[in-house]
Amino acid sequence: MGEPASKIEVKNIKDIGLDEGAARLTPERIEKVINEVIDNETGARLKVYVDTCVHCGLCSEACHYYLSNDKNPVYAPAGKVKQTLWEIVEKKGKVSPDFIRRAAELCYTECNLCRRCAMYCPFGIDVAYMMLTMRRICHKLGVIPQYIQDTAQSHSATMNQMWVKEDEWIDTLFWQEEEAAEEIENLRIPLEKEGAEVMYSVIGPEPKFRAQLIYQAAVIMDVAGVDWTMPATPGWDNSDMAMYTGDNEMMGRLKKEHFETAMRLKVKKIVMGECGHAFRSVYDMGNRAVGWKMPPVQMVHALEFYYDLFKAGKIKVKEKYDKPVTLHDPCNVIRGRGLHEMARYVVNKVCETFIEMTPNREHNYCCCAGGGVINCGPPFRDKRVYSNRVKADQLAATKKKGVEVCIAPCHNCHGGLEDIIHHYKLGMELKFLGDIIYEVMEKPE
């Protein structure tokens, strides 16, 4: 299993966003932008991190890139900082366009901002924060991989990730409502219902590619008797690729739209679908970008929501799912929010046989899709798949124990794990937790 390291192209994968962007740079502009960002936006944190690191290398073994690439130091967390921000700070911004080109490819496609390494650093140095700072510089310099930049631009024009037009969104909800009403008579996806308890929000790809997830959520809401609504306006999308390109102003605009939609609808909480990065945006980075220390409207991730429903006995299981399953813990809701035990409670409620992968919970390896890496598109696909051989090994070990299905309660994890399962020929099925709940729950005849 696995690929020889030599196959991995580390540098200068062709990408029009990176290539054209770097071609437009001048040393003066680079210096000016870098110093603006470092002086005005980073504060003491960056300097402390850069000064504190003792190059002990304890973080290296934490990073799936490093492990999967035969411990190539280029992929060590501290190595990534060395190739980017260290150099920049040391040279006070006097770096070349070629340097920026490489730094951009590194920070956008060779780190998932998964924060696993920070757990192993004796000083708690957060390499993800440094990579985000590097991305902020690259955004300001206009050197961003094409696919993720296109997504950020979609966000800016439509307030969603997938160029979904206002009418297409509403039409998709009607369509899912109609289909679900064939299964459960008079089922509704209540649009614009002011004063409902819950606003349900999803990410852009759901209406575009995975509309059945909206259908399933509607069935779960209906059967559990939740008083819920969905908006018929922009603001329905909780996702955020602007957060990952470094366009913090757009990140703030997106979150304002999202939370103000919930405020307008007078809901008490927002329940969001199974997505990791969106949670980071609504629970940490995006809300803070506009001055809301905490989400202004309570934000409940699907894992917590399912947990609450089962605890309250609002959903009953007809017959447990019988294929042996494992669970991939998504970084953003596990390391970022600690929902791992809730996830296990639900998995055990709905599945006959649950087999842990190792390591697990907050120690789980990232899927290598996160942090916007999968959103950088096909040019970087191979690098991403080769750079997660450890995930393939981790999954293969569960398969040996009989696992047939991997549950991944995060959209990007899904995309990333799909590629890994396919490439390493693991022969496993991938599911959202909602897929299984929908399948095994008691529904009205």
- Stretch in the footprint of ligand SF4 (CB under 6 A) among 13-21, 72-80, 169-177, 181-189: 72-80
C-beta separation of 133 from 37 below 8 A? yes
Helix axes 97-109, 16-23, angle to 10 degrees: 150
Nearer to ligand SF4, 76 or 271 (CB): 76
Binding to ligand SF4 by residue 113, rule CB under 6 A? yes
CB closest to ligand SF4, residue no: 370
Task: Please say which residue, 83 or 149, places its beta carbon nearer to another protein.
Answer: 149
Asked if 272 and 316 count as a contact pair (C-beta separation under 8 A), the reply is no
Binding of ligand SF4 at residue 370 (CB under 6 A)? yes
Please choose, out of 119-127, 167-175, 239-247, 376-384, the segment that lies near ligand SF4 by the rule CB under 6 A: 119-127
Shortest Å, Cβ 436 to ligand SF4: 18
DSSP output for 10-34:
-S----HHHHHHHHT--HHHHHHHH
Contact of residue 309 among another protein, ligand SF4, none (CB under 5-8 Å per partner type): none
Which residue ranges make up the site for another protein (CB under 8 A)? 16-17, 20, 40, 139-140, 142, 146-147, 149-150, 153-154, 156-158, 163, 165-167, 170-171, 174, 186, 188, 190-193, 195, 232-234, 247, 249, 252-253, 256, 260, 263, 266, 268, 290-294, 296-298
| Residue listed under structure tokens 């991997």 | 406
Residue 128 interacts with ligand SF4 (CB under 6 A)?
Answer: yes
Nearest to 253 by CA among 271, 234, 225: 234
Among 22, 63, 254, 278, which residue interacts with ligand SF4 (rule: CB under 6 A)?
Answer: 63
Contacts of residue 65, Cβ cutoff 8 Å, sequence gap at least 6: 75, 110, 111, 368, 387, 388
Token pair listed for 238:
């909780």
DSSP character string of 64-129: HHHHHTTT-GGGSHHHHHIIIIIHHHHTTT---HHHHHHHHHHHHHS-----TGGGT-TT---HHH
Task: List the 325-327 sheet strands across, edge first.
Answer: 325-327, 405-407, 429-431
Site residues for ligand SF4, window 255-294 (CB under 6 A)? 276-277
* 295 versus 371: smaller Cβ distance to ligand SF4: 371
Angle at 309 between CA 410 and CA 286, to 5 degrees: 40
Chain-centre distance for alpha carbon 130: 18
- Using the minimum distance from each CB to another protein, give the nearer residue, 248 or 388: 248
Q: Which is nearer to another protein, 105 or 329 (CB)?
A: 105
> Distance between the two ends of the chain, CA-based, in angstroms?
47
Q: Residue 194 corresponds to which amino acid?
A: E
By C-beta, is 16 or 54 nearer to another protein?
16
Closer to another protein by Cβ: residue 192 or 393: 192
Interface residue list for ligand SF4 (CB under 6 A): 53-59, 62-63, 65, 77-78, 80, 111-117, 121, 123, 125, 127-128, 276-277, 330-332, 366-367, 369-371, 410, 412-413, 416
